[in-house]
Structure 1
Amino acid sequence: MLFSEQNYKRGIYRGSIEVICGSMFSGKTEELIRRLKRAQIAKLKVEIFKPRTDIRYDVSDVVSHDANSVQSTPVDHSSEILFLNADTQVVGIDEAQFFDAELPAVCNKLAEKGIRVIVAGLDMDFTGKPFGPMPALMCIAELVTKVNAVCVCCGSPAMYSFRKVSSEATVLLGEKESYEPRCRFCYHMTEA
């Protein structure tokens, strides 16, 4: 079905893009799983995707830090998401920051077909800069939910992922041994 003003006015399209973003340990994946499970309870056809490179908890499933999980399909490139089942109504995408720059266009194509797209990912890398396709996704989304962790230094809301290990690589898969959530003040205190 092609996107047209006439079809939109008749209410044929119900597609949308939702982005859940924040630092590490802020509950992004937990919120993604919660929304996807609610869609499944509503008997909607759901498909979930994640980058094949993310194997921290499971090779194929999307798993939160709290060990909640949902079955997913690992993909190498965002264009593979377009090959989903024809009857899919809701698409979940985890760790969006690790995808290629085509992910926003893929999400737009899905939404224009009437699919609800729910995307979760880090909005900033460990240096505090926008991460991968996340800024573009946030711009085109109907709904953006920013979640915060708790700063491990002072207990304030944390929006930064502080890297504890020495590495300049933008992508460094890791957990609590490599990263900790920090507020703005505590994150920048380490620079002084």
Structure 2
Amino acid sequence: MPYLQPNGGWIEVICGSMFSGKTEELIRRVRRARIARQRVQVFKPKLDDRYSFNHVASHDGMHFEAEIIGSAADILDLLRPDTTVAAIDEAQFLDWSVADIARALAERGLRIIITGLDLDFRGEPFGPMPLLMAEAEIVDKLHAICVVCGAPASRTQRLINGDPANYSDPIILVGAREVYEARCRQCHVVPGRPDSLGDAGASKPGRGQLHGRQCGEDTL
């Protein structure tokens, strides 16, 4: 449902794990805005070139033309005077100033639509996303399907040669299905992750042990 504020703009954030349909939802919203004869611009970080360099593209093949930006400040340089809807895909790859820019544009009366991973592969807040979510009038958290147990997935599992990536690995590593998959909290595995409860999470099984069974099955 659209958020209508007649005397000003607002910020919408679409977040969730990979494969949860964030970019697909962004494309749906900007297409509807264009049908409504609103002036739309879409921006994407140049770091995200998995499917198309000058389009935002979903894993399912949907796409929409986009302006390529190297930093959040580029949005201000590329923004056209008549734009009324500005969308930013994969905002987790941008610097923290994106939150200030989104706020300023909303205060100028623009509708701002932002997508991004709220959690990195370690399951921790990703870049400027927490600040953007706090600033937004609307936050929609989407879920994928856990590839291990079929539960709603809120985490992104990074795999290196089929094995879960270590906590100490680089946070940003752009990939697609061959590198990442969606998992629920219980099936998400991050070797080396600090645990404030000591060894409470040490017995969490890997993918091979979990595959084909429901999370929590042994408690039934």
Q: TM-score, length-normalised on structure 1?
A: 0.91
- Quickly say closer, same or farther: Cα 1:190–1:89, change in 2 above 3 A: farther
**Which of residues 116, 121, 128 in structure 2 aligns to 1:121?**
116
Identity, % of aligned pairs? 49
Structure possessing the higher relative contact order (Cα contacts under 8 Å, 6 or more residues apart)? 1
| Match runs of 1:55-134 below 5 Å | 55-83=49-77, 84-134=79-129
Gap regions ≥5 residues in structure 2: 190-203, 210-220
Q: Look up the match of 1:186.
A: 187
Q: Which amino acid aligns with 2:183?
A: R
Q: Look up the match of 1:164.
A: 159
Q: Give the match's secondary structure for 2:99.
A: helix
Q: Which amino acid aligns with 2:92?
A: Q
Q: Give the match's secondary structure for 2:34.
A: helix
Q: Look up the match of 2:192.
A: none
Deviation at 1:13, TM superposition (A): 3.2
Whether contact under 8 Å (1:92, 1:118) holds in the other structure is yes
Deviation at 1:67, TM superposition (A): 0.6
Residues 48-69 of structure 1: per-residue CA shift (max 9 Å, x gap): 0000111110111100001100
Deviation at 1:14, TM superposition (A): 2.5
2:185 and 2:130 map into 1 onto residues whose CA distance is 19
Gap regions ≥5 residues in structure 1: 1-10
2:173 and 2:140 map into 1 onto residues whose CA distance is 24
Q: TM-score, length-normalised on structure 2?
A: 0.80
Q: Look up the match of 2:10.
A: 16
Residues 108-167 of structure 1: per-residue CA shift (max 9 Å, x gap): 011010000000000000000000000000000000000000000111000000111146
Q: Which amino acid aligns with 1:184?
A: R
Give the paired residue count.
182
Root mean square deviation of aligned Cα: 1.5
Whether contact under 8 Å (1:13, 1:112) holds in the other structure is no
2:36 and 2:205 map into 1 onto residues whose CA distance is 47
2:205 and 2:90 map into 1 onto residues whose CA distance is 26
Q: Give the match's secondary structure for 2:188.
A: helix
2:149 corresponds to 1:148: no
Moved more, 167-176 or 149-158: 167-176
- Quickly say closer, same or farther: Cα 1:190–1:178, change in 2 above 3 A: farther
**Which structure has the greater CA radius of gyration?**
2
